[in-house]
Structure 1
Amino acid sequence: MPEGQRRTFMGYRRPDGKVGTRNYVAIISSVNCSASTVRAIQQRFGPEVMRAYPNVDGVIGLTHKSGCGMRTGSAAVEQLQRVLSGWRCILILGAYLLVGLGCESNQLQDMIQAMQLDGAQQWKQPYFLTLQENHGVAHTVAEGARIVGELLPQVNDVQREEVPISELKLALQCGGSDGWSGITSNPGLGFCVDELVRQGGTAVFERDP
């Protein structure tokens, strides 16, 4: 499709030129031990608080069940660090805060250095804290809420703008085939992908082995 005829959508243009469809602040746990703390920080930012930030879609917590009891420097730790560093790259995130326990195998400062999260070319700089350095859950939740509160005005400064659909990148994952997949979902998604690619966009497929 010629550029002048491409359809558009209202997206958030990021400093690196890429575009997100949403605008969130994320709280990411480095270890399963800090997951409940991440949720507690997230709960501080309900609808009443977020009304003051109309350009922010919300504060979300991203947790997992790993990060502790792993051999330091192992392939498993490296894989986890790659996944977590990939989370912070998601274009719907305008800023993020990492929350750890303090004694986990996946040490925050080691991950930041290994994954180069604080490089000069990174427009999203890592904010991080641990429960042990902040003397427990209550103080960590209070400090985490303070940091997120300071990030919200910055993320709110970004406003939606009209951008071409060619900026979209759509990821698809097999949800488990059943008797209706070939009749309903697969053709529907196939039509959607064909139209997206026709408009200059990108689609990424994952399939079960």
Structure 2
Amino acid sequence: MENSIMTVNALPGSWANLKLCTPKDDGNDWVNTGASEEQGLYKFDDVEENEYYIEFFKPQPGDDYNFTLPQVAGNDDSVLDSDVVGFTRHGGKTACFTVGPGYDSTKYINAGYKLKATPPPTPAPSKTPTQSPIDVSYYCADVTTTSAGTQTFNFLGCQIRCGQGFSECPGNTRCIFADVCIEPV
């Protein structure tokens, strides 16, 4: 699936239940179960006239897949998008549809699945301390000027703040503006 439009046909190993929209008096709404075959297709035989929905189960392992957005191709008859519009305890379900005189039994009602994004690997711990930005302000720092005239700043800590133009920093340190104060974490 790309933008919830089908780009790959086959996804074998998915199960689908045909269920009644209005359960029988005994509360049973199950009618039939079908499994997708090698081409990812399923079918239900000998379906009587009634109103049904299809419940789809994700292929195994189910935790690897999410259902895609429904009806993004612009019409209900498209074979390129998903018809799953809601969820059950076990999977996704379609809207109800009526099987009766004139029903097109070759109509495709399908589910779109998309592999979940793989999270990036957790980086190995580093021996170098990581740094995190704390704030934008003025901080007390030791200032070192090199022979080339460049200055380096060794901040005393992001909790030791000072006001612009003030000299409340301890010892020979100076009050320096820093876009972001960075201290080892």
Give the TM-score taking structure 2 as reference length.
Answer: 0.25
Q: Larger relative contact order (C-alpha < 8 A, sep ≥ 6)?
A: 1
- Higher percent of residues as strand: 2
Larger Rg: 2
Give the TM-score taking structure 1 as reference length.
Answer: 0.23
